[in-house]
Amino acid sequence: MREAKVIAERQALEDAQRRERETLQVIFDTIPVMISVYDGSGRLRRVNREWERALGWTFEEAQQVDILAEAYPDPGERRRVVEFMRHAERRWADFRPRTRDGRIIDTSWARYALSDGARIGFGIDITERKQAEAALRESEARFRQVTENINEVFWLADLDNTEMLYVSPAYGHVFGRSCDSVYREPRSWLEAVHPEDRERVREAFYVNRDGREMEATYRVIRPDGSIRWIHDRAFGIRDVSGQPYRFAGVAEDVTARKQAEEERARLLESETRARAEAEAALERLRAIDTITDSALVHLGLDDLLHELLARLRRVLDADSAGVQLVDADSKTLYTRAVDGFRYQDFRSIRVHLGKGMSGRIAAGDGGPAPGGREGRGRRVGVLEPAAPVHRRGPEAAAPRGRPRGAGGGAGAAAGAGARRPRAAEGAVAPPAHRAGRGETPPGRRAAR
């Protein structure tokens, strides 16, 4: 019984050892890690399938050649590999062996010493990782080439905008502040924002954000006191799950564009004002045409004169208007009709031809027209500052006149004047007040 028990225990132990060897063999054959074993003399003793797949030699082929010389043809690199195997330090080191088909791959190895002096090594093919790292470095280099040579400020911040991950060198030129200052204090850029815009910008970039796009146009004050207009736009960068985890933004100096827009608006306003003035002038010309419309032929002389003067005042925006006729001796002017003040104040006024404003207007070109027809050669008078006329009525601050023949050799002068500055071009003139027959304009006292 005792002997049978011993046999059973031995059988169980052997079964356990067999299962352990099978487990280790499966791991050895299938693990995606290269495994190689060298004896104390440096001879290759064993390799796994991943080693054969990565380097291209079978174990039998590797035993027929100097595998280290084949994999590392450069003597210096080969000495480094041998030194690494001899020390068997428990650390990882990168090597670039040549495969059987001539390719160079990137590998990382760790080497351990066994009790019998052998060395076991574990290696990983890191070619794809190295290629990805190289591609990333190249991408970063291109990124920096772009961001460091554009006039716009490119910036990258965390989701809370509390850490500035990157800001391009243009920040110093546009904001007038160093990049280091915004790295140290990510919100310091707000200090450069114009006080009138700061709260609006703060709300746009720091309040109620959930990864959505942010955009604002604002002014910054640089240390030299100059003001620049900035258009800043940021958008969320999302991870593989679709959740935003940082912000990227571009701040562009749009000062020149803003100035151009303001200049364009100013020119448009000026054009609109000029058009309005031109239309107002055209309307006045049309109004002048209505002064002598056909309806006047049915009026008597007094009514005709008063109607003409009232219309003249409206067109010229004048306070008063009057008509003076040349007497029978052709030496003086006397008042025939007025509008805007009392006729009695002007009834006794006489003005010598060629003297004062009215006299100079009535004198016209100073002589009869060809053929002996008097009054036909008169023209519009262009007046310089004239000598004062002795009269009891108001002086015309803006005189306007036109001499007319009055038949029988008599001439006439029509004039209009204003005590106040004329209305701006395009403005609507106040309604004229007719006071030709003893009335005084509302709100005005007749001058005496």
238: left (phi over 0), alpha (psi -120 to 50) or beta: beta
CATH of the domain at 191: 3.30.450.20
Shared domain for 401 and 306, answered yes or no, is yes
Answer yes or no: is 368 within a domain: yes
Candidates 175, 210, 172; CA nearest to 190 is: 175
Answer yes or no: is 171 within a domain: yes
Does residue 73 surpass a pLDDT of 60? yes
Tokens 């500052």 locate to: 385
For 265, the 3-state DSSP assignment is helix
Shared domain for 125 and 225, answered yes or no, is no
Shared domain for 242 and 323, answered yes or no, is no
Does residue 375 surpass a pLDDT of 60? no
Shared domain for 124 and 54, answered yes or no, is yes
Of 80, 102, 129, the residue that ends a domain is 129
Shared domain for 335 and 404, answered yes or no, is yes
Q: What is the mean pLDDT of the chain?
A: 78
The pLDDT value recorded for residue 294 is 61
CATH of the domain at 405: 3.30.450.40
CA distance to 121, 235, 258, per residue, from 249 (Å): 49, 6, 21
Answer yes or no: is 378 within a domain: yes
* pTM tops 0.75, yes or no: no
The pLDDT value recorded for residue 439 is 40
Q: Which amino acid is at 107?
A: T
Answer yes or no: is 369 within a domain: yes
Who has greater pLDDT, 7 or 125? 125
Tally of domains within the chain: 3
Shared domain for 123 and 170, answered yes or no, is no
The end-to-end CA distance of the chain, in Å, is 160
Q: Which of 79-88, 116-125, 244-253, 287-296 has the lowest mean pLDDT?
A: 287-296
- Token pair belonging to 389: 């006329």
Who has greater pLDDT, 213 or 196? 196
Does residue 29 surpass a pLDDT of 50? yes
Of 75, 94, 129, the residue that ends a domain is 129
> Could you tell me the residue range of the domain that residue 50 belongs to?
25-129
The pLDDT value recorded for residue 413 is 63
CA distance to 84, 117, 121, 343, per residue, from 91 (Å): 10, 18, 11, 122
Does residue 283 surpass a pLDDT of 90? no
Answer yes or no: is 354 within a domain: yes
Of 253, 282, 317, the residue that ends a domain is 253
Shared domain for 238 and 322, answered yes or no, is no
The pLDDT value recorded for residue 305 is 79
Q: How many CA atoms lie within 13 A of 141 on its CB side?
A: 6
Answer yes or no: is 379 within a domain: yes
